[in-house]
Amino acid sequence: MSVVGCVAAGGSGERLGASGPKAFAVLAGRPMLEWSLDVLREVCDRVVVAVPAGYEEGADRVAGGTSRSSSVRNALAAAPEATVAVVHDAARPLLDAALARKCITSLEGFDGAIAAARVTDTVKEASADGSVVRSLDRESLWAVQTPQVFRADVLRQTLSADEEILAAATDDASLVERGGGAVRVVEAPGSNMKVTTQLDLRIAEAILTERC
Ligand code: CTP
Ligand code: MG
């Protein structure tokens, strides 16, 4: 088994509004990307990072794509030896090794095993004008995160789809599901947050500062 981490770090981070790409925004004294890289290097045989244009210099960095999933595809393409792919967003710097390992071991018998959190809010479906169509049963709802671990052959096949299909996907598991793959959720700790806005950055900073 060859486990390769594929890090999606190729986004611009528009909603964060920093002066450069989000993955390189400073978080608790170092680029955000570095925090999850430490953990992935601990649990993977190798890690490939898809970065924005102009950041390709450095070992195991590849150019990101125009969409998140095309960035993942580029990272995976640089690791033909991979039998298991651990896909992770640089925007989730609080990744812990136990979660990544749990996703890897949970892959047994599945095509994908993905970190997810039980939904704590009540979720409703509404039409464009805001009128509620229905309330969904929270018991069976999960908010999906990364890491998302896949059999590498399945992910390679999945990510060979057309660019527009990749661009429409908000995660890789949905593409695997679309191809008939079996995916399971793995419950993540509450700390596995995503940094999208400046408020998230402050929260992540507080948690990391407490950890160190
Ligand atoms: N990502 C990527 N390649 C892209 C777009 C996004 O690798 N073309 C990565 C981001 O770097 C991030 C992850 O996918 O780690 C999740 O995306 P998101 O949180 O939306 O980050 P950004 O696209 O950078 O942020 P925004 O949408 O606010 O511009
Ligand atoms: Mg984005």
Phi-psi group of 142: left, alpha or beta (phi > 0 → left; psi -120 to 50 → alpha; rest → beta)? beta
Residue 19 one-letter amino acid: S
State residue 49's pLDDT score: 98
The CB of 50 under 6 Å from ligand 1? The reply is yes
15: Cβ contacts below 8 Å, ≥ 6 apart:
196, 197
State residue 140's pLDDT score: 95
Report every protein residue that has its C-beta within 5 angstroms of ion ligand 2.
11
Quote the CA–CA distance of 178 and 174 in Å, as a whole number. 6
The reply to whether the predicted model has a pTM over 0.95 is yes
CA of 109 to the centre of ligand 2 (A): 31
**Which residue spans within 37-111 are E strands per DSSP?**
46-51, 61-63, 84-89
pLDDT string in tens for the chain (212-residue length) = 999 999 999 999 999 999 999 999 999 999 999 999 999 999 999 999 999 999 999 999 999 999 999 999 999 999 999 999 999 999 999 999 999 999 999 999 999 999 999 999 999 999 999 999 999 999 999 999 999 999 999 999 999 999 999 999 999 999 999 999 999 999 999 999 999 999 999 999 999 999 87
State residue 212's pLDDT score: 79
CA of 125 to the centre of ligand 2 (A): 23
The answer to whether 180 touches 112, Cβ cutoff 8 Å, is: no
Ligand nearest to the CA of 18: 1
Give the orientation angle of helix 97-105 with respect to helix 32-43, to 10 degrees.
50
Q: Which residues of 55-64 are buried (b: 16+ CB within 10 A; e: fewer)?
A: beeeeebbbb
The CB of 65 under 6 Å from ligand 1? The reply is yes
Cα 53 to its chain centre, rounded Å, is: 19
Q: In ligand 1, which atom is closest to the CA atom of 51? A: 7
Asked, as a colleague might, if the bond just before 147 is cis with ω within 30 of 0, I would say yes
In sequence order, what DSSP letters do the residues of 131-167 get, joined into one string? Answer: -EEEE--GGG-EEEEEEEEEEHHHHHHHTTS-HHHHH
The CB of 14 under 6 Å from ligand 1? The reply is yes
Q: In ligand 1, which atom is closest to the CA atom of 23? A: 11
The CB of 181 under 6 Å from ligand 1? The reply is no
* Residue indicated by tokens 């978080």: 27
